[in-house]
Structure 1
Amino acid sequence: MTAPLPSVGQENATENWLRLDRQICFSLHAASRAFNGVYRVILKDLGLTYPQYLVMLVLWEEGPLPVKSLGEHLRLDSGTLSPLLKRLEAAGLVRRERSARDERSVEVRLTEEGAAMRDRALEVPRRIVGATGFELGEIGALRDRLDQLTAALDTAVTEEMPGNR
């Protein structure tokens, strides 16, 4: 259910709606930064940054993928993804290889060391849950709502693009 926007004549409507603590974007930003701080501590044992961990999660789940597909999973462009992959490759966790089917495409695959790291990473989600203080059901409900928010915002952006009106 959506809350009605304040009417034009409502006292202090502009000031209330423009307060930083009223901005959902800032709450999400602050939560993201806080998560990154917790992940930084937890992932130190694995020698991974948070973005590198996300790459590893996708590869553990999906197996070898073209760089383009990996970027789509992570919502990252190639300019952001390429340096991540370069560092993971230097660490011996992934390999990048030209696709035998399409030489224009580069495929990313886990090395033995990268695949073996999965077992050590199983502790990460448990520690994250512990850091939140939330129950598993609450975390699942929050994740589902955030997924709905993301889909709604993606739709809003798509509808606002020129040629889509």
Structure 2
Amino acid sequence: MKINWGTGLSIAIALFISFILYFVIKVQSNSKYDNELVVEEYYKHDARFQEEMERVQNAQDLNHKPIITNTNEGITIVFPQEFNAAQIKGTVSLYRPSNKKLDFDTPISLSNPTLLIPKSKLVGGQWGITMEWQYAGKSYLTKQPIYIE
């Protein structure tokens, strides 16, 4: 049987399309290739952007900012000494870019100006820390990446 150039071209296009579809289906069905959004409710998050920028600016305007460090015990967050530690309220969210299942929140409830997140809760690698906190009726937002070994 002789195949002319039109039939050959049609077969080649059909093989190419099936090759692409195979990989699309493979990636969509395999949990190894996780394609999650960074933020679950993206549009709601985007609508609150101006409010978030004001809280970030409040944190930038502080004379003494909270200090986030990686220690042998875990992640230590030291709030400024001029603040009354008992009046600081909020949450610290730890975000793992590579695995959503490792994300967690820790409430800020202090008796001294230091908050420790134990190393036993953390897996080695890149983490994003987001602190949303209030003091004396003013809201603050601090974001910082940190690497845990």
Place the TM-score, normalised by the shorter chain, in its bin.
under 0.3
Larger radius of gyration between Structure 1 and Structure 2: 2
Determine which structure has the larger helix proportion and give its number. Answer: 1
Determine which structure has the larger strand proportion and give its number. Answer: 2
TM-score by length of 2: 0.24
TM-score by length of 1: 0.22
